[in-house]
A and B are shown apart, each in its own frame.
Chain A
């Protein structure tokens, strides 16, 4: 999952569902797909992780198609406080360090 591609920015309105798609064409068999969220002046925070099909937690859902070359983070009924940068990430190296891309700046409008 070393190289991921996701939109640079997205706008949405309060109460809408937001879907952010990430492309990871070179995903390896043992790679997990992980999403983090970062607010201004804070460190990144784990949202959700998945390997295949669908994963849901109290914050978001993650949809992964059978070929696993992409994934979609779904945020239900966003609010202003969901304005943040969202990263689609993989782990790399023996240290399992996170490999950050540019992320997607989500702006939720009133």
Chain B
């Protein structure tokens, strides 16, 4: 079974440019999460989809970030315009259930974003 995949693995852009990150969750997983780790900080939650609907985007830092999940399958996270403080590693995770017990979230390898 294929795991969670993310594309690209690395992205280097200049301040003010736009970048789009993609996540393909495990097939059949309704729940999709985006997290990120910025330099020297802990991994933080950004938002959560159930199928194609955003359920919780309380972690999104500002309106320069836009996430979508087309048809409840893959998801994209667009940063426009990118700022220096957006540099970090962006993780996507998926899970089949919503709850605490046995709710294993499967993480992708992350996309390392560098804004110059």
Verify A97–B59 contact, CB threshold 8 A.
yes
Residues of B within 8 A of A (CB): 4, 33, 35, 42-45, 47-48, 55-56, 58-59, 91, 93, 98-110
Residues of A within 8 A of B (CB): 30-32, 34, 41-46, 49, 51, 91, 93-102
CA distance A36 to B55 in the complex (A): 24
CA distance A101 to B45 in the complex (A): 12
A100/B107 contact (C-beta < 8 A), A91-B100, A95-B33 known: no
Q: Which residues of B contact A45 (CB under 8 A)?
A: 107
Verify A94–B55 contact, CB threshold 8 A.
yes
Q: Which residues of A contact B42 (CB under 8 A)?
A: 100-102
A100/B98 contact (C-beta < 8 A), A42-B109, A93-B58, A95-B56 known: no
**What's the dominant secondary structure at chain A's contact region?**
loop
Verify A97–B107 contact, CB threshold 8 A.
no
CA distance A93 to B48 in the complex (A): 10
CA distance A43 to B4 in the complex (A): 10
Chain B residue nearest to A99 in the complex (CB): B45
Chain B residue nearest to A102 in the complex (CB): B42
Verify B55–A95 contact, CB threshold 8 A.
yes
Verify A43–B91 contact, CB threshold 8 A.
yes
Distance between B48 CB and nearest chain A CB, rounded to angstroms: 4
- Supply 30 A–B pairs (Cβ within 8 Å), ascending by A: A30-B100, A41-B109, A42-B107, A43-B91, A43-B107, A43-B108, A44-B107, A45-B107, A46-B104, A49-B101, A49-B104, A93-B58, A94-B56, A95-B45, A95-B55, A95-B56, A97-B33, A97-B45, A97-B48, A97-B56, A98-B33, A98-B35, A98-B43, A98-B93, A98-B105, A99-B45, A100-B35, A100-B42, A100-B44, A102-B42
Q: Which residues of B contact A31 (CB under 8 A)?
A: 100
Verify A43–B98 contact, CB threshold 8 A.
no
Distance between A64 CB and nearest chain B CB, rounded to angstroms: 14
